[in-house]
Amino acid sequence: MRVSGLGPKAEHHLLELGFNPRPTPAGGWRLATAPGGPGPLTVEPTEAPHDDGAIGDSVLGATREETAQAACGLMHLYGLREGAGPRRLGLDHTAVVRAVVTGQGALAGMLARARGLNPGCVRVDPTAALLLTLGHYLAIAEAAPETYTPRAIRTERADGTDRTALSPRADAGLPPPFLTRDGRWVEIETFRAQRWGALWQRLGVDGVAIGRAWREHAARQWTARCTLPRGLHRAVAAHSLAELQEAAHACEVAVIELQPPARYRPCARPWTSRTGPVPAVPVGEPARTSLPRDLPLAGLTVVECTRFLQGPYAGRVLAMLGAHVVLVELPDGDPARGIEPVVDGCFAGFRALHRGKHPVRLNVITPAGRDALRELLGTADVFLHNWPAGRAERLGLEPEALWRTHPRLICAHASGWAPFRGPLLPPVASDWSAQAHSGLAHAQRPDDEPPAAGVATLLDTLGGLTCAEAALLRRETTGVTTAVETSLLSAARLLLNGAKRPPAGPLFHPLPTGEGHLALGDTPGARSALGLPPGADRQAFVHALAGESAANWEKHLNASGAPCARVRSIHDVLTGPALAGRLAYENGVHVTAPWEFS
């Protein structure tokens, strides 16, 4: 199963970047350049729309959202939250990812031209673009295959037949969010175990449950699961929102109420920027005339001070485009290196995020460490960090301070809440607090289900992609000192579809078949192919599909003009021949670059 086409959102995104895209017969766009410069730059998908084996619709060859989610493994990961099978994410997530990666390729191609290279075409692989956002999950699954398998045990009945049931661990709790006594849905967030324990002790939860809950809570960015003991849910249900907030404030823990999807308006430009003073002597880059084997960012240096996911993803993209990325770690190394599963001395997920980077160890809290960082920045083109708001200023490393000695530096901050500031924002920024606060917890679920943030990471990865794009944009369009800021919240606003939640329907979530699940578009063609009347409910579809496997239905229904896709698990993505060309193996698995420049 391949994902075909880049989609109309990619065209819109190119317009937002300042391009004037003109469609090409191959399903891409021709981007005009300045008069007197090289000819137009063409951006095209690596696979023409509707080629053999691809699944697409008639709008610019764009894959339907539900089939793309099924094909790349996202539905499998998203369904781990409930543990009841794959589920659809009610957002145009894959379309937005393809759009941003397309914009990155276009900007990188233009930057290459500005630096003396002359690519005429950027080819974007939409399947690799989607897999890139799941790279840390793929690396973990390859190292520890049981991580994303159902938590089940097999027992034997008295008559000798098998019975499969959920394991005690899987059946011992519920995922967030929590429901308060006065009917308010909330997420509870902190990065510190001591504060987590203090809050739950204050609410009367026993220590064993607190410890188990913390392990689930702290690991959720890697496991796509977070099943918390029911005692925690009961403790929250015994308190009003105001009482819970008072207890959390005393323990320095964030309580984030799930906001409606109309809280923030959707945005098309997920970045803000400001420029510094123009240097007294213009600072340019030497012309580079003949480096045919170079990637667009070859020769540029990025100094990266990041942890967790959003910032590392931005640095990973810049490294894949050819930049020399210097990763600044803590003096004893990033603690995430020691998380299981460890492969060749390093956590598989950490290696996936930081592959191709060059680590150094500094303690930027000390004056000597900050001096060493400033020395590194003296030869850098981009300074990338994801520190909490205010930390750069406290360290004397804010853009205005750095520009006095490094006037050509692009400062890129992958933040939590930019461009917004103030006390009404949650005090802790994470993928899940941002999903709750932005309205995505409502917007991603159909209107007949209670709101909930997805446990699989959505905003960390998309936020990292947009931060890398913003750094490329400023590098390509300006020669003056510039600071760009993106955020988890701005990534969420890219995904918002407006004030309405997605409507429920019998085929919203994938359907069980005789073997596996099938994501099927609710079209007259699908009902006709299955011999079902227009008013058929979900159970009628399940009954009609029960006789064949999802793989067989995928072939038959697509041939009949009914778009569908078998739901691939993360293991299917790793082992299936259709996606093997997008994966490479070197001290673990990693996704190949989604761009080709020629």
3-state secondary structure of 157: coil
Domain borders along the chain are: 1-143+551-598, 157-175+178-257, 266-504
**CA pair distance 139, 226, nearest whole angstrom:** 20
User: What is the pLDDT, as a whole number, of residue 275?
Assistant: 80
User: What is the pLDDT, as a whole number, of residue 178?
Assistant: 98
Taking a C-beta distance cutoff of 8 angstroms, is the pair 587, 344 a contact? yes
User: pTM for this one?
Assistant: 0.91
- pLDDT single digits (tens) 42-95: 999 987 544 333 343 322 234 789 999 999 999 999 999 999 899 999 999 999
Residue 328 β-bridge partners = 360
Taking a C-beta distance cutoff of 8 angstroms, is the pair 218, 226 a contact? no
- pLDDT single digits (tens) 296-319: 999 899 999 999 999 999 999 999
| Other beta carbons within 10 Å of 584 | 13
**CA pair distance 35, 38, nearest whole angstrom:** 8
Query: What are the backbone dihedrals phi and psi of residue 147, each rounded to the nearest 5 degrees, phi first?
Result: -60, -40
CATH topology of domain 266-504: Rossmann fold (3.40.50)
- Which residues have C-beta within 8 Å of that of residue 578, sequence separation ≥ 6? 1, 2, 53
Return the percent helix, strand and coil in the chain, to nearest 5: 40, 15, 45
What are the pLDDT tens digits along the chain (598 aa)? 456 578 889 999 999 988 999 999 888 999 987 655 678 899 999 875 443 333 433 222 347 899 999 999 999 999 999 998 999 999 999 999 999 999 999 999 998 888 888 899 999 999 999 999 999 999 999 999 999 986 543 333 334 344 444 443 444 699 999 999 999 999 999 999 999 999 999 999 999 999 999 999 999 999 999 999 999 999 999 999 999 999 999 999 999 999 999 889 998 888 888 887 655 544 444 333 333 357 999 989 999 999 999 999 999 999 999 999 999 999 999 999 999 999 989 999 999 999 999 999 999 999 999 999 999 999 999 999 999 989 999 999 999 999 998 888 999 999 999 999 988 999 999 999 999 999 999 999 999 999 999 999 999 999 999 999 998 887 666 556 789 999 999 999 999 977 688 999 999 999 999 999 999 988 888 999 999 998 899 999 999 999 999 999 999 999 988 999 999 999 999 998 888 889 999 889 999 999 999 9
**CA pair distance 539, 328, nearest whole angstrom:** 54
Euclidean distance between the first and the last CA atom of the chain, given in angstroms as a whole number: 26
